Structures are given as C-alpha cells and as structure tokens.
Structure 1
C-alpha cells in the first residue's frame, strides 16, 4: 500500500523532515510518494514552488521501491508551460494535479484564502472552483491523477462547507468525464473521509466516476506532518472497492495496481 500524497519541508506549508516521514511509513508498513508543492502563481510574490534540483539532490539517494518521488502541480493558466517543462525535464515518478486557485484569475487569492469568497455565494464560489478544475484537466494533459476533488470544502468560509454532489452534479460530472476520457486517475483524498457526511458525498462522486468510464484511483492522505501519514488509507481502499475502482500508484510514470 502507498500513501500517494505526502509533503515534506520542500513544501512551503510543511515542516516535516523526510526522515520522520520514512520512519512513520515504516511503522505503518506502507510506501510513500513524496508530492511536494509546486504552485506557481505569478500574482503572489515569491510564489514559485521549491528548488527541484535541490529536491532531487537531497532525495534521490533515498529513493527506493517504498519511497517514490512525485510532485503536486498547481493547475493555473500562467503555470502550464513551466509545469510542462518540469514534467519533461525531471525524473518524477508521479504527477499529481491540483486546483488550488481560480484557473485564470489575475490576483493572488487562492481557494485557501478568505478573500476569494468575498462577495460570492457558496454556489458561485463552488461553481468557479469546478469550472477551474475542468479547464485544469483539459489543458494539463501531463498529469497522472487529479487531486482532492473536495479541496474547497476544507477551506471555504461558509457555514456549511460540505460539498454535496447533487448540488453541483453537472459540473462534477464534467470533471469526471474529462478525467475518464484521458484515462487518468482520480485521487481519493483521505483527509475528510473520517466524517460520515463527507464520506457519503465522496462515495457518490467516485461511483459516478466509475459509471462515466473511470477505472483507477490513487489514495493519499495529503499529509504534512508524521501523524497524518497513512490516515484513513484503509477507508480509502474500501471506498475504491465499493465504487468498483482499482487502487493504483505510479512509479516512473507507469501505473501499478495495489493488490
């Protein structure tokens, strides 16, 4: 089993040392895919991600069948060419694509920030989020898996943050169709599936992914500290099985099935 979404201190929002991540994974008997953030945003000062050369210099010697080196790329219009350059010029095992910000916005705000919700109803904000995700999938063919479809439900500023599938069904279905059409994986993010309502809504989404032709999912904790690594992976596997989807991980950009 692999936790396919883990951040170390190359990510700006994580202080976790790679040694601590490896120790925790060994305790759990699982493999890790390191997916540090590369969120290029030309409207945030000094927002260009991490030094990829230093990343490989530090981690290549630790690479093994149980420790794989990926990257989480923020999908934004102005980042596409630079993302493609990274994918084509570095030896990543896995490319995870994420919608962290409005795709074509000309400001610094991301879906993590309160400012992105100012003056918008929940419906307006969530529809903007899914339209950004649709463009991200269509215009970034290089990704292997689409991360955390429910990311906005972590950080939006509404009384009820939950993502209800039936409220956004046409847009969510379009996301799922585009991922399935390109034979990419969806990620089952385990961050929120410990909550029954969240798990029930996500189950609807992943069942629909299967109905629309999707076949595979990666499973990841989005862990930023040792205690988060491996969280709810068993629940993620159970969700994949219930939805008829095959859990996988990527090594050298090739798909491997988790048995």
Structure 2
C-alpha cells in the first residue's frame, strides 16, 4: 500500500516557481498510485504582530528573507479546479507553518480566514540577537551546538504550539550539514531526538518521514516508537511535480522496519 503524500508545495509557496501547478503534481500522484495529496504551502512571516511570541522575545526581523504570504484566493481557486479534475485522488488543503510557536497569533489569523485540512509544523530558523536566521546559516559557525539548539527549540515548539498535526522534517539542518549530509552522525543526537519524540508522542501527533531530507533511519523512527509515538506521516516536501511521492518505497521500508504499519484506511497515517 502506497501512503498519501502529506507535504507538497506548488507555485503558491514563496520558494517554488509559478510553473509548478497543482494539476502537474496531481498527475504525478496519480501516476505513482498515491491515494491522496496535501498541498501544504509555506506559511511564514516577515512581519508579525504585538501578540506574537516573536515580539515578546524582541525579534524584529528575518534576515535576508524572500518570504511572501500565501495568495489564499488564488490557492483555493486552483484547489477547487483540481478536485474536480482528479476525482480519483483525495486532495487536501494545507499549510506548512514555520515556527508556529513564535507566530501563534498570526497563524491563527490566517487560519480563521482560510482553514485547511492539513497543518504541518516546521522549524526552519533560529534567533540570533534580534533576528531570525535560516538554520543553514548558523550551522557553519558551530554545527554541533546549532543542531542541539535546533532540537531543543523543536521541543519548545511542540510543547507550546498545538496548531499543527504533523511535525515536519525533524532532520532539516542535516540538509545543510557542513561538508555534506553524510558527515552527520545521527546517534550523536539520540538524547535530543528522544526528547523531541517524547514531547510529540505526549500530544498524540504524527512524525513526518521526509523524503527530500536525507532519509531518516529505521533507528530514528524506532526511537519515536519507543518514546510512545503512535503515528507516522509521509511527505515528499516536493517543490517540483516530479518529486511528488519520491523515494516512498524506501521510506515505507524504513517505517515498517521501525514497527509501523498502514492505518485504518489508505488515507490514514501509518500507526504502531
């Protein structure tokens, strides 16, 4: 059984070309035999309000940002169109909320106007002084300390934000590891990973196995299960149609080796 792809971007995300349409992604999903796809566009903020925690923490800027808001009207028009065009595919609306614990008020305001089916929680940036910086920029100063800080911040994000259903790409910094992702030693951070997984399991939410990142090991997914994790989500993190459902066969092998199996139906998360 092939799982849904719960993490896909199109031209409505600020970091994805306008030529990447929902229709092309759906064509790829159908060709791959996927039962469902979720269009989880980036919900990031460069301007935030007085009620956001980022303001309380004294953050005033996001360094060198190209982030743009979602054009909700255009997004929903295209989503309606592909739902009609691809009746054989379940198509979910969604967002990938960046640093939702820092922008709870802003995220809530967006979702009041444009509620969605799937919400991913992601950590892409960390603070340095009064600015947010992409974690890749901070790794080159001290990768070990940055990785430990990153995982600690994810614990805070899980414990202080309940808006998201799935924790996305817990290995995000590994994509930018100095000298190449092959130099990253997952076992060095087992204690920090387990702290994240305990926090996530305590909320009953799902862990994403992200197939754009260097693929998580069965050991890492097993740590989640051992800490009480109940559900796993699959996400390609595709920013091009050809990447929809990428490496899912291998990801399924990893997840099964860690003790998870298909859920209640073909649209569900995989469960222990």
State if a TM-score over 0.5 links the two structures.
Answer: yes
Q: Is the 8 A contact 2:8 2:244 kept in 1?
A: yes
What is the alpha-carbon distance in structure 1 between the residues aligned to residue 28 and residue 264 of structure 2? 19
Displacement of 1:90: 2.9
What is the alpha-carbon distance in structure 1 between the residues aligned to residue 241 and residue 27 of structure 2? 8
User: Alignment partner of 1:218: what SS?
Assistant: strand
TM-score by length of 1: 0.84
The equivalent position to 1:24 in structure 2, one of 17, 22, 28, is 28
Q: State the partner residue of 1:50.
A: 70
Q: State the partner residue of 2:14.
A: 12
The equivalent position to 2:106 in structure 1, one of 61, 75, 82, is 82
The equivalent position to 1:159 in structure 2, one of 158, 165, 179, is 179
Q: Is the 8 A contact 1:24 1:226 kept in 2?
A: yes
| 1:39 maps to 2:44 | yes
Deviation string, structure 1 residues 196-223 (Cα, Å, up to 9, x no partner): xx55xx2211101001110111101111
Number of aligned pairs? 246
Displacement of 1:108: 4.0
Q: Is the 8 A contact 2:119 2:165 kept in 1?
A: yes
What is the alpha-carbon distance in structure 2 between the residues aligned to residue 169 and residue 257 of structure 1? 24
Q: State the partner residue of 2:82.
A: 62
The equivalent position to 2:235 in structure 1, one of 181, 203, 220, is 220
| Residue pairs, 1:159-178, within 5 angstroms | 159-161=179-181, 162-178=183-199
The equivalent position to 1:2 in structure 2, one of 1, 4, 26, is 4
Q: Which structure 1 residue ranges, 5 or more long, are not aligned?
A: none
User: Alignment partner of 1:256: what SS?
Assistant: coil
TM-score by length of 2: 0.80
Question: Cα–Cα, structure 1 residues 81 and 103, in superposed 2: closer, same or farther, change >3 Å?
Answer: farther
Question: Cα–Cα, structure 1 residues 175 and 247, in superposed 2: closer, same or farther, change >3 Å?
Answer: farther
Q: Is the 8 A contact 1:77 1:103 kept in 2?
A: no
Q: State the partner residue of 2:56.
A: none
User: Alignment partner of 2:187: what SS?
Assistant: helix
Displacement of 1:247: 4.8
Between 1:142-151 and 1:80-89, the stretch displaced more is 80-89
User: Alignment partner of 2:134: what SS?
Assistant: coil
What is the alpha-carbon distance in structure 2 between the residues aligned to residue 7 and residue 69 of structure 1? 11
What is the alpha-carbon distance in structure 2 between the residues aligned to residue 14 and residue 205 of structure 1? 29
Deviation string, structure 1 residues 218-244 (Cα, Å, up to 9, x no partner): 101111111111111111122221111
| 1:117 maps to 2:119 | no
Q: Is the 8 A contact 2:100 2:107 kept in 1?
A: no
Between 1:179-188 and 1:57-66, the stretch displaced more is 57-66
Deviation string, structure 1 residues 5-37 (Cα, Å, up to 9, x no partner): 110000111121112111111221212111111
Displacement of 1:86: 3.1
Q: State the partner residue of 1:102.
A: 126
Q: Which structure 2 residue ranges, 5 or more long, are not aligned?
A: 48-60
Displacement of 1:149: 1.1
Q: Is the 8 A contact 1:75 1:140 kept in 2?
A: no
